[in-house]
A and B are shown apart, each in its own frame.
Chain A
């Protein structure tokens, strides 16, 4: 029984230490990442690792009510990603599209709404590709 208890504690402690190291590495990724979507992906990963750490700690201490905290944390991190993405998309569309009719026309042809310069750049790129294939 002694061996079993100490082995269990050692295993769970080891899991927690490695999870903490992974969490710091993911935080460094959130600081470095060149685009802002890199940062959103890293924050998502941090949320998952925090859930794991809380659940292992709840089993190690013996207090069963700490698992509720992990459930609430999962819900809030999901909500944070949804709110951030919607906010950024709304601001981006308002800044780059000039009127509502233009937005409808662009979304009809392209399928998703992009800004005017982006749309013209992609048209040029696709026409260049078609021109090359036509001559070959």
Chain B
């Protein structure tokens, strides 16, 4: 009985922390000015927020098949999210007409 309560409290702390990170991410997207800054803040929500909420759900549900599927979702999203961030940054540098005012592009 105490075991159930401990499990619930740990999962609740993780879920609420993940929720706080996501709220912080959407607030950051609204307060930042340029696309590059917004992309960095959004990536914070994609990695940390997703991990904390999914780990909290994994603790709540124990050793079932749902836990294994959530581990797969987490692994795939962590591998795919930096690739899409890199592509968005590349297209931003190529097509922005005001590139010099917003960020520095150093020659390789």
Question: Which of A's residues lie within 8 Å of B, judged by CB?
Answer: 4, 7-8, 11-12, 15, 18-19, 22, 25-26, 29, 35, 37-38, 40-42, 44-45, 48-49, 51-52, 55-56, 58-59, 64, 67-68, 70-71, 74-75, 78, 81-82, 85-86, 88-89, 92, 110-114, 118, 122, 125
**A38 contacts B35, CB within 8 Å?**
yes
**A74 contacts B88, CB within 8 Å?**
no
How far does the alpha carbon of A44 sit from the alpha carbon of B70 in the complex, in Å? 19
Interface residues of B in 64-100 (CB under 8 A from A): 64-66, 69-70, 72-73, 76-77, 80-81, 83-84, 87-88, 90-97, 99-100
Number of interface residues of B (CB under 8 A): 52
**A26 contacts B29, CB within 8 Å?**
yes
How far does the alpha carbon of A82 sit from the alpha carbon of B83 in the complex, in Å? 9
Q: What is the interface of chain A mostly: helix, strand, loop, or mixed?
A: helix
Total A-B contacts with CB atoms under 8 angstroms apart: 133
Question: Which of B's residues lie within 8 Å of A, judged by CB?
Answer: 4-5, 8, 12, 15, 19, 22-23, 25-26, 29-30, 35, 38-39, 42, 45-46, 49-50, 53-54, 57, 60-61, 64-66, 69-70, 72-73, 76-77, 80-81, 83-84, 87-88, 90-97, 99-100, 107-108
